[in-house]
Amino acid sequence: MRIIMLIDMDYFFAACEELRHQELKGKPLVVGADPKEGRGRGVVMTCNYEARKYGIRSGMPISIAYGLKKDAEFLPADFDYYERESREVMRTIKGYATRFEQVSIDEAFIDVTEKVLDYQDSLQYAKKIKDAVQRDHGLPCSIGISGNKVLAKMACEAAKPNGIKLVKPDEALSFLAPLPIDRLYGVGSKTREKLASRGYRTIGDLANANPMNLIDMFGVFGTELYNNARGMDDDEIVENYEIKSIGREKTFEHDTFNRDVVVDAIKSIGAEIEEELKRQALSFKTVTLKIRYHNFEEHLKSRSIGHYSNDVEEIVSNAVRLYDMHAEKGEQIRKIGVRVSGLIGYKGQMRMSDFVKA
């Protein structure tokens, strides 16, 4: 039996901003796109709980957030700063774990099976971690505890904000059953609609389903849905995670069909990707161009170059070529993105996966 925790930082970007702007504490604070008096493009990335009182939520168009609370504090995202804070917090968390897997800038799974006596004891242990994060970094977090990753994640959702929630494996079914189906990890709006059309509305409905029906609807994903709905998951904690792709994208201030504007964007994106590749000592084999048109239709075009490279010229020339070959010239473009994949270490710095392949 395992004891797994998910530690999730509360409203992380906004909490980081409160940390360095103490005067903003207690006021509604929104991190995201520039609202430009309600004409801004883009969305809310994170907001604090004062902002949530006005109905502001992450992912919401920034123009709507502005409409809800014009005199909230709107700040642009400073990822370099959040990354630095994240690294320090994660180092603290890792110190409490036998196994540690960071899943995003503000979340990590840890295995503490060998650090605690039992589930009851894990509650005290979680409190220790939570207090250390608050004391040493000045940042709040929530912790979910259970026997696997999916349940720890679901428990953590119930713990927010600033709490700890334990769901013992034998409590899983009754804990999950009443929750709306899209609260289940892996169920987004499309899957929710598809399930609703067949009468499934709660996680309990899924847990009581005939798994064959779910497999008919979703293939192997149906099995996963069924297992997750019953709180069953044997996914391992992966310690040495390796990045699979690096991409950057840019939404234009105004939609455009001007090739020069697009090419300029590809060049600056290419330079950023090259910098990241060199920072991580990686080379790529495949370039993918993403175009989002004015109507939100999105197309991906990709090209493998037949060798490994970390050169900005190869990123840009291939992306521009994909643009020239495939872009629908009469259509206005809203967003352009470039991603490189098929990554491998270079300069003799082999990665773990290289050894496995060898």
Question: Which CB sits closer to DNA, 26 or 219?
Answer: 219
Kindly tell me which residue out of 29, 33, 159, 206 binds DNA, with binding defined by CB under 7 A: 33
Active-site residue (options: 18, 107, 224, 314): 107
Contact between 243 and DNA per CB under 7 A: yes
Establish whether 107 is a catalytic residue. yes
Contact between 335 and DNA per CB under 7 A: yes
CA distance 279 to 228: 38
SS3 168: coil
Backbone angle region of 296, left / alpha / beta, with phi > 0 → left and psi within -120 to 50 → alpha: left
Contact between 286 and DNA per CB under 7 A: yes
Which one of 36-44, 87-95, 227-235, 345-353 is the stretch in contact with DNA (CB under 7 A)? 36-44
CA distance 54 to 30: 11
SS3 241: coil
Angle at 154 between CA 148 and CA 155, to 5 degrees: 85
What residues does 44 pair with on adjacent strands? 32
Kindly tell me which residue out of 10, 18, 101, 107 binds DNA, with binding defined by CB under 7 A: 107
Other CB atoms within 10 A of residue 41 CB = 17
Contact between 76 and DNA per CB under 7 A: no
Closest contact distance (angstroms) between CB of 95 and DNA is: 21
- Token pair, residue 257, equals 């069909």
Residue 324 exposure: Cα atoms within 13 Å on the Cβ side: 8
Contact between 69 and DNA per CB under 7 A: no
Element (H, E) at 64: helix 62-68
Other CB atoms within 10 A of residue 3 CB = 25
Question: Which CB sits closer to DNA, 94 or 303?
Answer: 303
- 247 with 336: CB under 8 angstroms? no
Which one of 127-135, 189-197, 204-212, 347-355 is the stretch in contact with DNA (CB under 7 A)? 189-197
Kindly tell me which residue out of 247, 278, 293, 321 binds DNA, with binding defined by CB under 7 A: 247
Contact between 337 and DNA per CB under 7 A: yes
CA distance 216 to 236: 27
Residue 246 exposure: Cα atoms within 13 Å on the Cβ side: 23
Contacting DNA within 200-219 (CB under 7 A)? 219
Question: Which CB sits closer to DNA, 60 or 132?
Answer: 60
Kindly tell me which residue out of 138, 169, 211, 342 binds DNA, with binding defined by CB under 7 A: 342
What residues does 283 pair with on adjacent strands? 344
Contact between 276 and DNA per CB under 7 A: yes
Contact between 63 and DNA per CB under 7 A: yes
Per CB under 7 A, residues contacting DNA are 33, 41-43, 45, 59-61, 63-64, 103-107, 153, 185-192, 219-221, 243-251, 276, 285-286, 296, 298-304, 326, 334-335, 337, 339, 341-342
Residues involved in catalysis? 107
